[in-house]
Structure 1
Amino acid sequence: MHIAVIGAGMAGLTCARQLQQQGHQVIVYERNADVGGRMGTRQTELGGFDHGAQYFTATSDLFRKEVAAWRKAGWAAPWDGKLVKLDKGVAANAGRSNAKQRMVAVPSMGALGRHLADGLEVRCEQSVTGMERHGDGWLLSVQCDSVPIAATAGPFDAVVLALPADIAARLLQPVSSLAGQVGQEHLEPCWALILGFEQSLDLDYDGAWVEGSRLKWIARDASKPLRRPGEHWIGHASSAWSMEHLADDPERVKEKLLKAFHEATGTHVQPVYADVHRWRYAQAMTTLPGECLWDGETRIGVCGDWFAAGLDGSGRVENAFLSGSALAAAIR
């Protein structure tokens, strides 16, 4: 079949690779300039900053096998950073998260998406804005910044939506009964803080879950394997704070989150580089049961990290991988 995959995050790339291995002709559409979705890395004059997903763990046998293959290929490595809990600047041991090994992509989180996209036809900076029937297949409306009007792509025999639930529901609404199920899920936002310092902050931990702060998480990015040396930190604001300040001016957000970083760490060293990034759809707060959705009659499928995929919790790299893999199997 000729299949369109909309979204080049972990779920979309996983599904696309497996569909192509099955012999299907696959084209991946990605609205951003790079692949990987929330496994993103911001490139700066100081080097890369992993401002999206911070690490991943493997629970299922299928994902453990995949991660082992990534390690063998040199795409992933363990992160043994010291993680703590911070409450009003006081650090307490955070434990080992059920003793599961924390893994990161190398040399950056964003590199994994590029590895997975190798060999696929991926069309970046092309946003799919609509779908319509064309005989037994589908035509897509595709918008890119260089063209003032949407172009038509297709026809495709099947379409995979590997998108945040909020976006997928809008595309599905006029064409598929799957829209009702997808519309039950919503992803909450997250403001990310990106900081580079000229001198060491002399903190004796590499990451922390922060209590009673605008920030819920901070991490020393350079403590991960094969990163560029330097005092590089990432902060993630809480979902509640990010939602409340979703439309705020980025400079104002940066000022507030830098203050929260100083309060949490007890250090007031000023960064030489500071920026923020708004992840509009960052974290699924609930999960849709099952691994994916596939309508064999209309040949439309949906996958993403907001499916339970047999795991306890959502929004993980493992959820996305299992969901994309399950959808490829359903199409087969």
Structure 2
Amino acid sequence: MHIAVVGAGLAGLTVARQLQSQGHAVTVYEKSMGVSGRMSTRHTELGGFDHGAQYFTASSDRFKKEVADWKKFGWVVPWTTKLATLDAGTSKAAGKSSTRYVPVPGMSALGKQLAHGLDVRCEQQVTALEAHGKQWLLSIRSSEVPVAATAGPFDAVILAIPADQAEPLLSVVPAFAKQAKQARLSPCWTLMLGFQTSLELPYDGAWINNSRLGWIAHDDAKPLHRAGERWVCHATAAWSLEHLEDDDERVKEKLTKAFHEATGSWIQPIHAVVHRWRYAQAEKPVDADSLWNARQKIGVCGDWFAAGLEGAGRVENAFLSALALAKSIFE
């Protein structure tokens, strides 16, 4: 079959590789400039900022096996680090229960490795699906072309994008659209700070209580990352939702102040940039591995599926969901 995969995050790349290995012709469409989705790295003169997913863990046997292969290839390494919980100026050690992994030299590196050998079309946003007999046509919008284009026909279409973005495309399968609507993803404002000198904080990552921020991480403390003093700060879902439409400068000011208050360090940054993730974490994961309509040949996968795990929004969810969908198609 000739299959279109919409989305080049971990789920999209995983399902595309699985399908291609089974002899299908696969084309991946990605609206952003590069692959990796929320496993992204922002590159600057100071070095990279992993401003989306910070790390990942592995709990299922299948994912542990995959991670072992990635380690063997040198794509990922364990992140053994000092983590803490911050609350009203006090710091308490935390986070020793699970092995945490990071791709090197940045989170986006894993997606780039997985994209090798795939036909990935970046900066091409799929805006609609249209039935064409027993096949599908895709409406494509690109910043390089002023008018919408049509791609296809494809024998099957896979959506590997956030639920909120998948829902309008799934109007062709109302039952799937309904499930996507129930899995709404909460937003996250991210602040990236660079400093000229070390802050000399006694931890490399911290969960923060009673703050606008929920998490901060010393990015250059990760293995094989460029030296420097770079911190990634994630606002809480509640604060991000309340301030979703605020302008960048206001968000930067508020979150920088929260960082100073949480860490007790008042050294001023030489670099401060914010990024808004509109769809960061599933509020209510779909209690399934993935969705596949064998008659219409349309499927959905992503980290907003439970995929047999507790919770959602993790790298492991994305991988297991994509694997399950590929298996459904093979059957």
TM over 0.5: yes
Tell me, yes or no, if the aligned pair for 1:132 and 1:175 is still in contact at 8 Å: no
Q: What is the deviation of 1:293?
A: 0.3
Q: What is the deviation of 1:174?
A: 3.8
Asked if residue 135 in structure 1 is aligned to residue 133 in structure 2, the reply is yes
Aligned to 2:200: 202
CA–CA distance in structure 2, aligned partners of residues 264 and 88 of structure 1: 7
CA–CA distance in structure 1, aligned partners of residues 172 and 69 of structure 2: 40
Q: Deviations over 1:260-291 (max 9, x none)?
A: 00000000000111100000100112210111
Aligned to 1:228: 226
CA–CA distance in structure 2, aligned partners of residues 185 and 205 of structure 1: 34
Give the letter for the 1:80 counterpart.
T
Asked if residue 39 in structure 1 is aligned to residue 39 in structure 2, the reply is yes
Unaligned runs of 5+ in 1: none
CA–CA distance in structure 2, aligned partners of residues 296 and 214 of structure 1: 45
Q: What is the deviation of 1:176?
A: 4.5
Q: What is the deviation of 1:148?
A: 1.3
CA–CA distance in structure 2, aligned partners of residues 151 and 225 of structure 1: 43
1:4-153 to 2 correspondence within 5 Å?
A: 4-96=4-96, 99-153=97-151
Give percent identity, aligned residues only: 64
Tell me, yes or no, if the aligned pair for 2:190 and 2:275 is still in contact at 8 Å: yes
Q: Deviations over 1:158-187 (max 9, x none)?
A: 000001101111111145532122221100
Q: Higher mean Cα deviation, 177-186 or 59-68?
A: 177-186
CA–CA distance in structure 1, aligned partners of residues 109 and 320 of structure 2: 20
Give the letter for the 1:297 counterpart.
R
Unaligned runs of 5+ in 2: none
Aligned residues: 330
Give the letter for the 2:164 counterpart.
D
Tell me, yes or no, if the aligned pair for 2:216 and 2:232 is still in contact at 8 Å: yes
- Aligned match for 1:317, one of 310, 315, 318: 315
Q: What is the deviation of 1:149?
A: 1.2
Give the letter for the 2:155 counterpart.
D
- Aligned match for 2:300, one of 299, 302, 308: 302
CA–CA distance in structure 2, aligned partners of residues 180 and 95 of structure 1: 37
SS in 2 for 1:26: strand
Tell me, yes or no, if the aligned pair for 1:131 and 1:175 is still in contact at 8 Å: no
* 4+ residue runs over 2 A deviation: 174-177
SS in 1 for 2:249: helix
Tell me, yes or no, if the aligned pair for 2:163 and 2:183 is still in contact at 8 Å: yes
CA–CA distance in structure 2, aligned partners of residues 45 and 289 of structure 1: 43
CA–CA distance in structure 2, aligned partners of residues 272 and 210 of structure 1: 23
1:261-280 to 2 correspondence within 5 Å?
A: 261-280=259-278
Tell me, yes or no, if the aligned pair for 2:182 and 2:284 is still in contact at 8 Å: no
SS in 2 for 1:39: coil
CA–CA distance in structure 1, aligned partners of residues 283 and 309 of structure 2: 14
Return the TM-score normalized by structure 2.
0.98
Return the TM-score normalized by structure 1.
0.98
Tell me, yes or no, if the aligned pair for 1:5 and 1:26 is still in contact at 8 Å: yes
Aligned to 1:326: 324
CA–CA distance in structure 1, aligned partners of residues 81 and 220 of structure 2: 10
CA–CA distance in structure 2, aligned partners of residues 19 and 288 of structure 1: 23
CA RMSD of aligned residues (A): 0.8
SS in 2 for 1:233: strand
